[in-house]
Structure 1
């Protein structure tokens, strides 16, 4: 069993290295460009014991939206939400007093991977800390937007590769374009055979070898929050997001008067 797992891992790494080598230099570049926090004041760094776990999006002064699997096996009393600074480990720090997790859909493993963190005290809004509204219509295929965050989704420790570092310390941002969900599923299944996508997801094109930002990194279209990353990649594979238009009612109900 262990031998089979080792062979599978080596096969994946060999293929990944070969893919990266096609980039020319044999090294991956950081994703996008360094960003000022004023460009994405709704972004938050979610940490536990001074370790970055994922990113999140401020949806009102009391709540931050993240992926549900961000805090798997993490004691909520150790969690801190950092906002207002492009440096991942700086900014104002807030404790978390409650987590509201969306009930998962057993038929589609990529659906409903969302939770809401209720802060112990509300944020003070400013040019660097600001909530963002949820998109009020389903984004169309080909729509353009931007996504920002601090790191990659890889769980490896390949420090020799720039884009394989576990997390970036500097906030970065890049432009993206949405891709048809069926085309997205087809491309991703070539590498992830058990992947299941539904209309609760949206995808964006990714044509370079840099790694995706953290899970939970916000996708913004026309100034509104359209999605958060739930599955990224360090290869030329589409990125998958929770389509937040589908979760508006759950978010509104879960945060109303709380």
Structure 2
């Protein structure tokens, strides 16, 4: 994850390049956000197919032409939690959210239009933190929301704690995106190890997850998707050095640090 893992929306210039590549955390490396719309988003590396019935709160974001570029999580009946770099500068009218669809090649599930996009006011880039946003939809979704991690959920962030990451992104660095939802298990990384890999790592804003030897990770097209532990959303796919590289775990937005602000947006009537 040396770059943000969202896809650049290039569909006829419809979506602003909110997921454009950004400077990498790693010194001397180039970082790019993990999703790009307009081209097939790459899927989770080292994962396996997942059933939407077992993770019904996972959704994906598309442009008006149906091109998937990021992931997200249902936070309330008509609200989606995603990465700020996925939607910053986007006109809500040009954003769609697909829920309840395991295979992108089908027409299953619900397609909802966005009516409002909130981006955390402190967000500047994925490498500086606050990479979180809330999208309001034009309808309520039948799928249940996933609870947010709070500051009390310290156990979920302990080094070595196994967490699950979901998405439709690339299955290898620079590879093709997945048509079906993927799931992978990654251990939470210590702040010390993540700081060693990424000079700009901020433990107050981020959390890392991955194996020292690499091999399993989120990737391009997975940005905005959920990192889950203890039945809660503990992280949002954000950035990293490449995908599944040894010594470079994935970087996720630390949800517990932004829980009160996100919760306020989930409760907002708009």
| TM-score, scaled relative to structure 2 | 0.72
Cα contact 2:88–2:119 (8 A) shared by 1: no
Equivalenced residue count is 217
Q: Give the SS at the match of 1:253.
A: helix
User: In the alignment, which residue of structure 1 is the partner of 2:174?
Assistant: 164
* Residues in 2 aligned to 1:242 and 1:12: alpha-carbon distance in whole angstroms: 20
Offset, 1:109 = 3.7
Cα contact 2:115–2:138 (8 A) shared by 1: yes
Q: Note if 1:231 corresponds to 2:247.
A: no
User: What pairs up with 1:61-72 in 2 under 5 angstroms?
Assistant: 61-72=77-88
User: In the alignment, which residue of structure 2 is the partner of 1:185?
Assistant: 195
Instruction: From the two aligned structures, give the one with the greater strand fraction.
Output: 1
Q: CA RMSD in A?
A: 2.7
User: In the alignment, which residue of structure 2 is the partner of 1:26?
Assistant: none
User: In the alignment, which residue of structure 2 is the partner of 1:255?
Assistant: 266
Pick the structure with greater CA Rg. Answer: 1
User: In the alignment, which residue of structure 2 is the partner of 1:198?
Assistant: 203
Q: Deviations over 1:88-120 (max 9, x none)?
A: 354310000000110126699431011100001
User: Which residue, out of 221, 233, 256, partners 2:229?
Assistant: 221
Q: Note if 1:34 corresponds to 2:49.
A: yes
Over 3 Å counting, the alpha-carbon distance change for 1:187 and 1:223 in structure 2 is: same
Q: Note if 1:43 corresponds to 2:43.
A: no
Instruction: From the two aligned structures, give the one with the greater helix fraction.
Output: 1
Q: Give the SS at the match of 1:164.
A: coil
Structure 2: tracts of 5 or more residues without a match? 1-27, 31-43
Cα contact 1:181–1:201 (8 A) shared by 2: no
Q: Note if 1:208 corresponds to 2:219.
A: no
| TM-score, scaled relative to structure 1 | 0.75
* Residues in 2 aligned to 1:105 and 1:30: alpha-carbon distance in whole angstroms: 27
Q: Note if 1:98 corresponds to 2:116.
A: yes
